[in-house]
Amino acid sequence: MADPPFTVNEEYVQDTTKKLQFNEFQEQPRSVQPSSMPKQAAIRDRGISVLSLTVVVLLGVVVQLVVGLGSYSGKGRPPMHGDFEAQRHWMEITHHLPVQEWYRNTSSNNLQYWGLDYPPLTAYHSKLMGWIAHRIDPSWVALSESQGIETASHKLFMRLSAVLSHLLTFTPGVVLWLSVKRPLTIHPVHEALLIVLFPGLISVDHGHFQYNSISLGLFLISVYFLVYRKTVIASIFFVLALNYKQMELYHSLPIFVYILAVSLKLYYHQTEKYIVVDFLQSAANLWTVGLTTLCTFLLMWTPLAYFGDENTAVDAIKRIFPFERGLFEDKVASVWCAFNPIGRFTDIDRSLMMKFSMTIVLFSSLPSLLILFLAPTSRFLRLTLFIVSLNFFLFSYQVHEKSILLAAVPALLLMQEMPLVVFSFLTTASCSLFSLCIKDDNERHLLLFFGYFIYAFTVLPKSEGRGRYLFLLRGLLSFFLNMLEMYGTPPTRYPHFYPYITAVYSCVCFLCDLIYLNYYLIQSYLLAGPKPKTE
C-alpha cells in the first residue's frame, strides 16, 4: 500500500511526556456481578433423530432384500409348492375370478390347491397385487397356467411387494411407537434396530414369504393410538388388521378389555371409598367405538356381498375358520404338541379338544385381563397383549409355528421395561422358527438369529447382572438344538426327533416366560395399586 491511510501523531513522538486524555466513567459503577451463564444445552442427545431412524429403516430394507435373495417356501417342490405359491395363487384367483368364486370351490378355483382362507382385506390386497402383476407380466398370474411359476423376475416382484408392504405398514407402526415418550433403559437407536431387524419376522416374510408385516403393522399402529387413548382410530386400525389375518384374534381380547376399561368413566369417591360409573358418558364412548368397529367391518365385507352373491360371505367365514384341520401342524412349540406323547391329545375327540383348549386359553388369560380392566395403562396393555397372545400360541387349537410372531410383536414393545425377558423370549421364538427355515432351504437364517442374539446380548444393560448369563445359556442351548436339527442324524425310529426336541424346549421356555410375565404383571399391579381417576 503506497499511501497508508493513517499517520502517527508527531506530538506524541516529540513530547515523550504527553499522556492520553483520560475520561473517567461518570456514573458510579454498581457492584460488579458476574453475569450468570445458563447451562448450555446446545449439544445433547435427545431421543432418536429422523436421520438415525432413516438409517435404521434403510438398513432393515437392505437386510430384507439380502434375505430375499435366498430361497422361499416350496421352491422347486411341485405339486403343492408352499406359502409363496399360495400368495401368488391368490393374486391369480382374485385378479381373474369374480368375487363370488374367491372363497368357493368351482371349476376354475380348486380350493384344495391353496384356496383363499384369509379375510377379505387379504383378498383385496391380493387383487391389487394381481392387477399390478398382470400389468407387468400377465404370465405371472395367468389363470391356472401360472401355477408353480418360478422365474427370477417374478420372484423379484414378490420380494419387492413384501418389502414395500413392510415399509408401508410395519415401518410406520415402528416409527409411531418410537415417538412415544417413555422411560428409556436401552438407547433408542438400539431399540429401533432391535425392532426393525427382528429376524423372526424378516425370515418369515422375506424368506419363507408371507405378508405378516401388514397385519402386524396395522396392529402396531392401533397400539400406538390405544396408548394415547384414541380408541376410535385404534379400533379402526385393529379391525383392519383383523380383516387382514384372522390370527389377529390373539390380540383381540386385551384390546377389547382395554377399550372397555378406557371407555367406562369411573370415578373413585374419595371419602366414601366406592366407585361411581358415569353411565351416560361411558355408554356414549362405547357406542362410538362399537359403531366404528361395526362400520369398519361392514366396509370390509360389503364388497363381498355386493359384488358376490348372498353366500360369498358365508363361504369366506367357513374358509377362514377351518376347524376341520388338526390340533397342530408339524412340530410346533405349543403345549398340545410338545406334551402329546404324555397327554395323547390327538386321540381325544376334536370338538371336545377344541372346547377344552378354548377354556384353558380363556382361564389362563383371565388374571391379566382383569388387571388390565382395573388399570388400563400402556404398560399393562402391552404386557397383557404379550401374555394373552402367548396363551393363545401355547394352548389354542390349530397352532402354526409362525403364530409366535403375534406374541413377538408385543414383546418388542416391552423391550425398554424388561429387556432380559424380552430378548430371551425373542431368541427362543426365532429358534422355534428354524425348522421352517430348514424346510425352505434357508438354513442360513440361523446366522440371522444368532447375530441378533449376540447383538441383544451386547445391548442388555449391565444392571441385569447374573440374568445376562442365564440369557446366554438359554439362547446357546436353543442354538445347540437347532444345530442338532440341521446336522444331527436322528434315531431311525423317530425321524422328527430333533425338531420335536426343539419344540419341547421352546415350549418349556415359553411356559417359564408366561409364568414370569404373569407374576411380574400381578406384582407390579399390586405395587402400583388400582388407580381409577379420582375426583
DSSP-assigned letter for residue 270 = T
Q: Which of 245, 253, 250, 330 is nearest to 506 (CA)?
A: 330
In angstroms, rounded to a whole number, what is the distance separating the alpha carbons of residues 80 and 59? 34
Least spacing, CB of residue 42 vs other proteins, in Å: 5
Least spacing, CB of residue 27 vs other proteins, in Å: 6
Least spacing, CB of residue 377 vs other proteins, in Å: 33
In sequence order, what E strands does 188-338 have?
A: 266-269, 274-277
Q: CA angle, 529 as apex, 527 and 534 as ends, to 5°?
A: 150
Which backbone phi and psi does 35 adopt, to 5 degrees?
-65, 135
Q: Do residues 251 and 123 make contact, with C-beta atoms less than 8 angstroms apart?
A: no
Q: Select 283 or 459, whichever has its Cβ closest to other proteins.
A: 459
Least spacing, CB of residue 408 vs other proteins, in Å: 19
Q: Select 37 or 280, whichever has its Cβ closest to other proteins.
A: 37
In angstroms, rounded to a whole number, what is the distance separating the alpha carbons of residues 121 and 443? 32
Least spacing, CB of residue 445 vs other proteins, in Å: 8
Question: How many of the other CB atoms lie within 10 Å of CB of 376?
Answer: 23
Least spacing, CB of residue 94 vs other proteins, in Å: 24
- Tell me which H or E stretch contains 58: helix 50-68
Positions touching other proteins (CB under 8 A) are 1, 4-9, 12-13, 16, 19-25, 27, 29-30, 32-35, 37-38, 40, 42-43, 49-52, 54-55, 58-59, 61-63, 65-70, 152-153, 155-156, 159-160, 163, 444, 447-448, 450-451, 454-455, 458-459
Q: Select 362 or 438, whichever has its Cβ closest to other proteins.
A: 438
Q: Do residues 297 and 317 make contact, with C-beta atoms less than 8 angstroms apart?
A: no
Q: Select 33 or 107, whichever has its Cβ closest to other proteins.
A: 33
* Three cell numbers, residue 455: 447383538
Q: Select 186 or 247, whichever has its Cβ closest to other proteins.
A: 186
Cell numbers 365385507 correspond to: 301
Least spacing, CB of residue 168 vs other proteins, in Å: 15
Question: Any residues with CB less than 8 A from the CB of 523 and at least 6 apart, and which?
Answer: none
Q: Select 43 or 527, whichever has its Cβ closest to other proteins.
A: 43
* Three cell numbers, residue 242: 383383523
**CA 497 vs CA 79, 228, 238, 489, 502: distances in Å:** 27, 48, 39, 9, 9
Least spacing, CB of residue 474 vs other proteins, in Å: 19
Q: Do residues 412 and 194 make contact, with C-beta atoms less than 8 angstroms apart?
A: yes
Q: Select 24 or 310, whichever has its Cβ closest to other proteins.
A: 24
In angstroms, rounded to a whole number, what is the distance separating the alpha carbons of residues 519 and 530? 17
Q: Select 117 or 205, whichever has its Cβ closest to other proteins.
A: 205
Question: Any residues with CB less than 8 A from the CB of 258 and at least 6 apart, and which?
Answer: 226, 372, 376, 381, 384
Q: Select 108 or 151, whichever has its Cβ closest to other proteins.
A: 151
In sequence order, what E strands does 325-484 have?
A: none
In angstroms, rounded to a whole number, what is the distance separating the alpha carbons of residues 300 and 119? 9
Least spacing, CB of residue 262 vs other proteins, in Å: 38
Q: Select 52 or 377, whichever has its Cβ closest to other proteins.
A: 52
Q: Select 175 or 390, whichever has its Cβ closest to other proteins.
A: 175
Q: CA angle, 239 as apex, 238 and 245 as ends, to 5°?
A: 90
For 152-200, the DSSP string reads: HHHHHHHHHHHHHHIIIIIHHHHHHHHTS----SS-HHHHHHHHHT-HH
Q: Do residues 471 and 457 make contact, with C-beta atoms less than 8 angstroms apart?
A: yes
Q: Select 278 or 441, whichever has its Cβ closest to other proteins.
A: 441
Question: How many of the other CB atoms lie within 10 Å of CB of 344?
Answer: 9
Q: Which of 423, 434, 433, 488 is nearest to 456 (CA)?
A: 423
In angstroms, rounded to a whole number, what is the distance separating the alpha carbons of residues 50 and 58? 12
Least spacing, CB of residue 459 vs other proteins, in Å: 8
